Amino acid sequence: MVLSPVLGKLVSKRVVLASASPRRQEILTNVGLRFEVVPSWFKETLEKSSFAAPYEYAIETAKQKALEVANRMHVKHLRTPDIVIGADTIVTVDEQILEKPVDKQDAYRMLSRLSGKEHSVFTGVVIIHCSSKDNQLETEITDFYEETKVKFSDLSEELLWEYIHSGEPMDKAGGYGIQALGGMLVEYVHGDFLNVVGFPLNHFCKKLAELYYPPLKHTIQHTKHDSIPSVDTFESLSDGESESSSFKEHKGASKLDSPSGVICNSENSSGVRTGSVVPLENQNGVLDSAAKVPSKILDLMDGFKASKALFVASKLKMFDHLKKRSPLKAEDIANEVGTSVCGTERLLDACAALGLLEKTPQGYNNTDSANTYLASDGEYSLHGYIIHSNDHLWPLFTHLESAVKEGSRQNHRAFGKKTEDLFNDYYQSQEVKQRFMAAMHSIAHLTARDVATAFDLSEFKTACDLGGCTGALAHELIQIYPNMKVTVFDLPEVIANSSCFQPSEQYTAPVTFVSGDFFTDDLPEADLYILSRVLHDWPDEKIHVLLNRISTVCRPGSALLVAETVLDEQKTHPPRTVLQSLSMTEGKQRSGSEYKQLLEKYGFTNTQIKITGNLLDTVLCFKKSQSSWHAQK
């Protein structure tokens, strides 16, 4: 796999695409980049005549779009992204810049100018690395542009108007979409096709490679850096926590003239070359193919060890101890948690190797991520979900072979109980119940902001989160939409245990908790119903009952918001969700078109899907009027 490592460097980062363009989202999603979409509010009104060249205008517009999003996220949502990507596509012909047509006449004006001629398409792209210092947003901006030449055939008036009436030109630079009907107008394309569509992917990957893996200084004159460097060089770099510092080191280093100032992936952190790597490098600082190892496969082989190390360190509350007091030596932690010193030291070293802890001569410290996500009182603690993964999912996955052979969930093998009995257990044992709720709360709290902001929900005055468990999403909704009244509807046993998960702050409009079973009891009235991480869990018969009931209580114009991870149409992405299916629940994960189809069956229309690039995507659909729904059935 030659392409992914450079994008893989972004996996552990909060990446935001500051663009409403569905094409940009698709291009980046298709190559496996996970990102959040936050469309920019920057109005494209810069004075074109003040730029010496059209590409400067495109770059500046892209920069303003991205900066607006970075600032807004930092100030308004108190969430500083790691990276914001912005882009702007323009067309130039006869020294004029064409953007998106404002109406059909404007589209006509643009397309008739392009008819029979060659024009240029420029996309300016900006990558902003953000950080927060003393609550101030700090940015490092990288920009570039790409030009592609496109020639149109002579367009007859009839063809031109037929194309305009298709509606395609309206949201596209220059008034055409080369990827669809507009492709029929094109005689030739010289350059990157995706640049015309709105995002120069090839140049973007090269830019990332340059940023994250600058070539060794002493080899620069030998290196024609026009392709994405080879994989193993990248993969030998660590991912995760240390990434941002490695980016800074590389950036700083690339500005230095002396080769000794370059910190590269074949040097250790003290700048000393590691013996085994040096002799294997070719002139470009890239490992020779004879020395290549299948890193990805090796990582997969070892993945279970890493998971278990994380689970055990979490279960033993090592991250909690280190959050309270650090640095701590292995003996201190062993004493606190009652484990052997030698075993504890090995586990702590493993956690340091995985980038979860820092090891210093004074002892071990939590990384920032460990404080935020792994300590049980961390702001976005995943502790509950990690314990659930260890105690519940791990035993199930050890029986994966039987699960695949039999095509069924392996609760009987893993826990000696049938699925139904195990489920009932959840609501009998207080400890298991709390553990399960803590797991659900971890994920709901972590994803609440994404789900609540994927669409503008301010038009809804009342919402009901069906199966809303601890109310994590409900609390986020009332924070973002202070005029909204939110009800959480869940089983009585769940509601009875939800009080310990409530945030300490007081809200003016509190969340209302109502107990009931959404398969049998009356559903509270609401303008917006929410099903977050519900549908994938249930078999079709149950989903039929649930959606039928929601559809019946939903008034025309009311809406349903579904939060799930939406699979790509091939159902191989995102891998986390595809792997989740292996637990063989009776439910299933769905693609965007499957959700759309499913919801339409129950009278929901105008389905919009937002791929957030994070843990949960969202699907919003509206209830049709009864008459039109029945007419269709």
Ligand X SMILES: O=c1[nH]cc([C@@H]2O[C@H](COP(=O)(O)OP(=O)(O)OP(=O)(O)O)[C@@H](O)[C@H]2O)c(=O)[nH]1
Stretch that binds ligand X, among 171-179, 201-209, 379-387, 537-545 (CB under 6 A): 171-179
What sign for the dihedral angle of Cα 315, 316, 320, 323?
negative
If one asks whether residue 172 binds ligand X (CB under 6 A), the answer comes out as yes
Among 13, 100, 321, 383, binds ligand X (CB under 6 A): 100
If one asks whether residue 173 binds ligand X (CB under 6 A), the answer comes out as yes
For residue 44, the minimal CB distance to ligand X (Å) is: 6
d(CA 220, CA 257): 11
d(CA 624, CA 622): 6
Which tokens in the block code for residue 1?
Answer: 């796999």
For residue 355, the minimal CB distance to ligand X (Å) is: 33
Stretch that binds ligand X, among 82-90, 422-430, 532-540, 621-629 (CB under 6 A): 82-90
If one asks whether residue 92 binds ligand X (CB under 6 A), the answer comes out as no
If one asks whether residue 15 binds ligand X (CB under 6 A), the answer comes out as no
d(CA 143, CA 266): 27
Q: Closest CB to ligand X belongs to which residue? A: 198
Stretch that binds ligand X, among 168-176, 339-347, 521-529, 598-606 (CB under 6 A): 168-176
Q: Up-side HSE of residue 463: CA atoms within 13 Å toward CB?
A: 31
d(CA 44, CA 229): 35
Number of residues that bind ligand X (CB under 6 A): 24
If one asks whether residue 179 binds ligand X (CB under 6 A), the answer comes out as yes
In eight-state DSSP terms, residue 552 is H
For residue 206, the minimal CB distance to ligand X (Å) is: 20
If one asks whether residue 197 binds ligand X (CB under 6 A), the answer comes out as yes
Report the candidate in 81, 4, 5, 11 with the shortest Cα–Cα distance to residue 240.
Answer: 11
Task: Tell me the three-class secondary structure of 352-406, residue by residue.
Answer: HHCCCEEEECCEEEECHHHHHHHCCCCCCCCHHHHHHHHHHHHHHHCCHHHHHHH
If one asks whether residue 167 binds ligand X (CB under 6 A), the answer comes out as no
What sign for the dihedral angle of Cα 312, 314, 316, 319?
positive
Cβ(595)–Cβ(547) under 8 Å? no
Stretch that binds ligand X, among 195-203, 215-223, 384-392, 480-488 (CB under 6 A): 195-203
For residue 72, the minimal CB distance to ligand X (Å) is: 13
For residue 197, the minimal CB distance to ligand X (Å) is: 5
Residues 6+ apart with CB under 8 A from 151: 117, 118, 119, 186, 187, 188
Catalytic residue among 82, 88, 239, 527: 88
Closer of 70 and 478 to ligand X (Cβ): 70
If one asks whether residue 19 binds ligand X (CB under 6 A), the answer comes out as yes
If one asks whether residue 196 binds ligand X (CB under 6 A), the answer comes out as yes
Among 7, 10, 21, 54, binds ligand X (CB under 6 A): 21
If one asks whether residue 168 binds ligand X (CB under 6 A), the answer comes out as no
Closer of 108 and 176 to ligand X (Cβ): 176
List phi, psi (to 5°) of 148: -130, 140
Stretch that binds ligand X, among 13-21, 275-283, 339-347, 534-542 (CB under 6 A): 13-21
d(CA 28, CA 15): 11
Closer of 80 and 89 to ligand X (Cβ): 89
Among 39, 482, 492, 539, binds ligand X (CB under 6 A): 39
Would you call the peptide bond into 327 cis, given omega within 30 degrees of 0 as the criterion?
A: yes
In the numeric block, the tokens 């991205």 are attached to 66
Among 69, 178, 330, 439, binds ligand X (CB under 6 A): 178
For residue 22, the minimal CB distance to ligand X (Å) is: 7
If one asks whether residue 474 binds ligand X (CB under 6 A), the answer comes out as no
In eight-state DSSP terms, residue 213 is S
> Which H or E run includes 133?
strand 118-133
Residues 484-543 that bind ligand X (CB under 6 A): none
- Residue 88 is a catalytic residue: yes
Closer of 20 and 306 to ligand X (Cβ): 20
If one asks whether residue 20 binds ligand X (CB under 6 A), the answer comes out as yes
Interior/surface letters 289-316, b for 16+ CB within 10 angstroms, e for the rest? eeeeeeeeeeeeeeeeeebebbbbbbeb
DSSP string over 304-355? HHHHHHHHHHHHTTHHHHHHHS-SB-HHHHHHHHT--HHHHHHHHHHHHHTT
Which tokens in the block code for residue 222?
Answer: 């030998």
Task: Decide the pairing of beta strands 96-98 and 83-93.
Answer: antiparallel
For residue 40, the minimal CB distance to ligand X (Å) is: 5
For residue 198, the minimal CB distance to ligand X (Å) is: 3
Catalytic residues: 88
Q: Which residues bind ligand X (CB under 6 A)?
A: 19-21, 23-24, 39-40, 44, 65, 87-89, 100, 171-173, 176-179, 182, 196-198
